[in-house]
Structure 1
Amino acid sequence: MKGHTKHMWDEKKLLYRVQVHKDADAYATIYDLYIEKIYRFVLFKISNTQEAEDITSDTFLKTWQYLTGKKRTVKSISGLLYKIARNAVIDAYRNKGKNETYSIEHAHALPCKANQDAIEVKQEVDALLISIKRLKQEYQEAVLLRYIEQLSIAEVAEIIGKSNASVRVLLHRAIKKLQSIHEE
């Protein structure tokens, strides 16, 4: 827990440097901390890697503009990044005029090992990801943010615009649905 507290303090310090001093080096550190997580989140929702890269890049540009624009209170840089990425994905679907589909095949990467254990683990992960893909969108998103991205309930709530209690209920229902899918 001590390391988590230090990370949060460092994040707040970086956020202060970006907002007050428009410090590009501090923002580069934030970028390095979150680029892979945000890209994985976007790629989970967008099946096209090029489009996922574009949306991720746009997310960081919009975040910089948001932070260096007029003075705003930001509780969490990670929450802000995920919220902007989520909105960018929604905008991309809206602009395309097509139904949302998800590609989770690229959302994970297991090291390639020749032993049987690694193959079995990969098969289990693939089966789980296929099951997650069968959930409705709001369940997928909650599960992705909470269990794959390992965000707190409060961060998930902030990103998807629901209360903490609603997120807990959503996650509970998603897990129950996953169990029933797995039993099929």
Structure 2
Amino acid sequence: MKTHIEEKLLVYKVISKRDTEAFAKLYDFYIQPIYRFVFFKLSNREDAEDISSEVFLKTWDYLIEKPRDITSFRQLVYRIARNRIIDVYRERARKNECLIDVATETLVGNDLRIDIEVKEEQQDLIKSIKKLKHEYQEVIHLRYIEGLSTKDIAGILDISATNVRIIIYRATKKLKEFVEPKSPKKK
């Protein structure tokens, strides 16, 4: 979205006129970030595609069935995605499936010319992030991979912006503990 006002106008059109073209613009803007967010959590391409589609269907239903003033479409769509991911974890737990899989794809870009060393470093970083507790993983992903503000993250997680900053600090500190032992020691 170019501006927050443009986003609010599109949301207004969806709520008041059931404007599918306005919703399509919101979808086009947010589908890739939501897909990345879901894929990072589930590490499965097909599941991420399915869940991402479901998220936008649920978002449409929410906007149409419960019309109200939406302060941030971004917060709404990420919250719906987060809730759907939690549902998937619960379903997996019931089926005794493994909750955490090591990501087999890189998170950044599709450039096939990235050399092996960079890929290994990315995979090591992903593994280190996966070692963090769930709360830390989520905040690290939203902040550094999706580039969301602490205010947006606070809205998505339903906590204060101050708590988000504290969690980011603790998560990055813990992540450094996992990553630094792997770094060559300087003498």
Is TM-score (shorter-chain normalized) higher than 0.5?
yes
Q: Which amino acid aligns with 1:148?
A: I
| CA distance in structure 1 between the partners assigned to 2:139 and 2:151 by the alignment | 12
Q: Which runs of 5+ in 2 are unaligned?
A: 182-187
Q: Which amino acid aligns with 1:158?
A: G
> Are 2:128 and 2:179, in contact at CA under 8 Å, matched by a contact in 1?
yes
Indicate whether 1:159 and 2:139 are aligned. no
Equivalences for residues 78-89 of structure 1 within 5 A: 78-89=74-85
Q: Secondary structure at the match of 1:144?
A: helix
CA RMSD of aligned residues (A): 1.8
Deviation at 1:123, TM superposition (A): 3.3
| CA distance in structure 2 between the partners assigned to 1:105 and 1:152 by the alignment | 28
> Are 1:83 and 1:159, in contact at CA under 8 Å, matched by a contact in 2?
yes
Compared CA separation, residues 105 and 120, structure 1 to 2 (3 A): same
Tell me the percent identity.
Answer: 45
Indicate whether 1:56 and 2:52 are aligned. yes
Q: Which runs of 5+ in 1 are unaligned?
A: none
Matched positions, count: 177
Q: Which amino acid aligns with 2:41?
A: K
Compared CA separation, residues 49 and 128, structure 1 to 2 (3 A): same
Q: Which amino acid aligns with 1:113?
A: R
Q: Secondary structure at the match of 1:131?
A: helix
| CA distance in structure 2 between the partners assigned to 1:102 and 1:34 by the alignment | 25
Deviation at 1:58, TM superposition (A): 0.7
Match of 2:128 among 124, 128, 131: 131
Moved more, 144-153 or 64-73: 64-73
What CA deviation, in whole Å up to 9, does each residue of 1:75-97 have, x standing for no partner?
11111111000100111121232
Indicate whether 1:69 and 2:69 are aligned. no
Equivalences for residues 112-131 of structure 1 within 5 A: 112-113=112-113, 118-131=115-128
TM-score normalised according to structure 1 size: 0.88
Q: Secondary structure at the match of 1:36?
A: helix
Q: Which amino acid aligns with 1:146?
A: R
Indicate whether 1:42 and 2:20 are aligned. no
| CA distance in structure 2 between the partners assigned to 1:102 and 1:77 by the alignment | 30
> Are 1:46 and 1:103, in contact at CA under 8 Å, matched by a contact in 2?
no
